[in-house]
A and B are shown apart, each in its own frame.
Chain A
Amino acid sequence: MDRRQEWFITMLIGIVGVIGCWSALQIGGFAFDPLGSRAVPLGVSVLMIGLCVVQAGKWLLPRAPAVSATGAPVDIEKSDMKEDTLAQVGESVEDIFEARQLLAPLGMLTLCLGFIWLVFLERFPISLVTTAFVVVAAQLLPMPNRRRGTLIALMLGVVLGFGAEWLFTQVFFVDLPALG
């Protein structure tokens, strides 16, 4: 899973490089400036694409043969196919477990999007949206005792919601989104 994640993210960075390169090619040159506006973004993008290809290529290449503790290559023929299958099953289980782990950050990101949307909708006071946010966010995290944890989160949400609204509007004089 790690290798695939790394490969996927490297490719994403490579795509950013391609977009940068394409956009840099649209920039015109100027006679009075020897370097021009295009050189740095173009150079950086090309280098980035090249290095991402190298990095991605490293993972696509077959792995080096396994080496025993003494440094001698492990005899592949002797390796037990059954053990290999079991290892593959193990890896798949691990993958599923790790993919499930990604649900927590994704859930939190969705919650953040919801929070921002609700706050800037200006239909609900920020103090109440914050309270709700804290309670829901706490539910996404492990709690030893859910009922007690929810109660603590509710109290925290109230304090944070009303306290932060007061702090930002009265102390820092920031106009937080208010009811329309």
Chain B
Amino acid sequence: MDGLLTAFWFTLQPAALGLMLLGVSAGVFVGAIPGLSGTMLIALCLPLTFFMTPEMAIVLLISIYIGAISGGLITATLLKMPGTEAAIMTTLDGYPMARAGRPGRALGLGIGSSFVGGLISWVALVLLTKPLSIWATKFTAFNYFALIVMALVLIAIITEGSFLKGIIAALLGALLAVPGIDPSSGTPRLTFDLVALNGGIDPIPMFIGLFALGTAFTDLLKPKKEGEGLSTSYRGVIMGVKDYLRHGANLLRSSVLGTWIGLLPGVGAIIGSMVAYSTTKALSKTPEKFGTGCEAGIVSSESANNATIGGAMIPLIALGLPGSLNNVLLLAALLIHSIQPGPLLFVNNPELVYILMAAFFCANIIMYFVMVGSVRWVSRISQIPGYILFPIIVFFCLVGGYAYGNSVADVWMLLSFAVIGFLLDLGGFPKGPLAISFILTPMAEQKLRSGLQIAGGDWSGLYTEPLTLIMLLMALAMLLIPSLGPKLSRRRKRALDKIGSPTPKE
């Protein structure tokens, strides 16, 4: 408790507050512009965090993360253009309500729900992280290996697009993590006799290339959609106490669902808001109103998508497992400062964990005020033409990549990964599994090797340790279900046809 209070004291200092205000505003700004994302901005800011203390770096990145997830709701509601994927479900009810002459009310519900969702997930973050990290310190090397394998499989199969492509992308990330001197044996691996590769591929230029510059190249292929703007009053933009009470159950349920989904690796805010929206609709007495400007729809979608942020932080801090792309970037920011998230973070850098929690809480409050204050002009920001935005993004990617290590090699690396990112986008391969696997594979390899060394080369620990076995079986099941599921249902259908059962087409 003392640690958390000290952390709050730190985050309330003018420098940290200023950085949070800057981060949230920048996050809301990019979140509101379709094509730009929080991931892009966090990737761009990574080199800048090199010049900050780890505490300040975390404060800035968390604020951007929260701002970006929330910012998408403004354009989703007013222009029917979700600035971020997380706001897609908000469009379904937010835009019809705004069209019906109540944009202020729609935005007010969205902003208030985002705020509550963030706070509820913050409670989970504070309550669950420490017990989970204490439990994780008891993990054996094989347990940890199995956990990472399970997370990798989950990330690869759940991410958008084809299951097979997700796995291929994850394997590509794993292969890209290999180059360098093997820390266990001192042998150079996949370096192709290039001295620059002896230290491995640096994640910072790689992530800026993949997620900022690569995405910018891909965006050049997409024609910019013109939103249908609304110019009405913004009355009702502040959610009243009565509204909070009326939507209390929905807020709580959707936030808990969002937090829980955020905990699962790779699932993300969009799935969180979809599940919460569908659940609320299923439980509603008037499901037909959903999609026509229903208040409960906005509340469930927005509270859940913001709640996923806190949920995703829990495994990142407690286990060192990044569950989402933004969390991979947060992890990279910590690694820049030689801080390794995981069970020992509470022992080695407890102040950092508490600052993260305090920053998360304060950034949510700042987000609320920034959003309420900025709704009038954020919808106009989204209309900034590409010929102004694009050169700025490209320039900051290139100069930021150079500034990070004062090295021309980093810039070439960044550009190479921008091309790889663009090609992956073109081929429909998700980049999330690649990035997460790039970070997790060396961890998994290291745990497996240390487990085997401790056991004297005996592999039996993988199937005799119950927790390891359960997690590996779960990973196997998750791998097999997507490929076997359709075959089984086809076989069942054929069997039904054979015995003459009525099928829908009959």
Contact = CB atoms under 8 A, between A and B. Distances in A.
A60 interface: no
B53 interface: no
A23 interface: yes
A44 B171 contact: yes
Contacts of A166: none
Interface string B404-441: 00101001100100110011101111000000000001
B398 interface: yes
**Per DSSP, are chain B's interface residues mostly helix, strand or loop, or mixed?**
helix
Given A37-B184, A104-B220, A108-B217, A51 B164 contact: yes
A40 B387 contact: no
A137 B167 contact: no
A157 interface: yes
B390 A137 contact: yes
B493 to A, nearest CB: 11
Given A108-B220, A175-B406, A138 B424 contact: no
A10 B505 contact: no
A146 to B, nearest CB: 10
B457 interface: yes
A115 B398 contact: yes
Given A51-B164, A105-B218, A130-B395, A153 B388 contact: yes
Contacts of A28: 187
Contact of A20 (B48, B175, B392, B395): B175
Contacts of B399: 164, 168, 176
Chain A contact residues (Cβ within 8 angstroms of B): what range? 35 or more
B262 to A, nearest CB: 28
Interface in A136-180: 137-138, 141-144, 149, 152-153, 156-157, 160, 164, 168, 172-177
Interface residues of B, number: 62
Contact of A10 (B171, B182, B422, B427): B427
Given A5-B427, A109-B419, A143-B385, A41 B190 contact: yes
B321 interface: no
Nearest to A138: B387
Q: What is the predominant secondary structure among interface residues of chain A facing chain B? A: helix
A161 B189 CA distance: 41
Interface stretch (A11-19, A76-84, A85-93): A11-19
B415 A41 contact: no
User: Could you say which of B184, B391, B419, B457 has the most chain A C-beta atoms within 10 Å of its C-beta?
Assistant: B391
A60 B54 CA distance: 50
B337 interface: no
A10 B168 contact: yes
B187 A27 contact: yes
B185 interface: yes
Interface stretch (B86-94, B96-104, B369-377, B445-453): B445-453
B161 to A, nearest CB: 11
Nearest to B51: A172
B152 to A, nearest CB: 11
9 contacts: A20-B190, A27-B187, A37-B182, A51-B171, A105-B221, A108-B394, A116-B412, A137-B391, A149-B385
5 interchain residue pairs of minimum CB distance: A9-B427, A34-B457, A71-B505, A141-B387, A137-B391
Interface of B: 48, 51, 164-165, 167-168, 171-172, 174-175, 178, 182, 184-185, 187, 189-190, 192, 213, 217-218, 220-221, 224, 385-388, 390-392, 394-396, 398-399, 402-403, 406, 408, 411-412, 415, 418-419, 422-424, 426-429, 441, 445, 448-449, 452-453, 456-457, 504-505
Given A108-B217, A109-B418, A141-B387, 17 more contacts: A2-B428, A13-B172, A20-B178, A28-B187, A30-B185, A40-B445, A44-B441, A55-B165, A105-B218, A116-B412, A130-B395, A134-B391, A138-B387, A141-B390, A157-B391, A164-B395, A164-B396
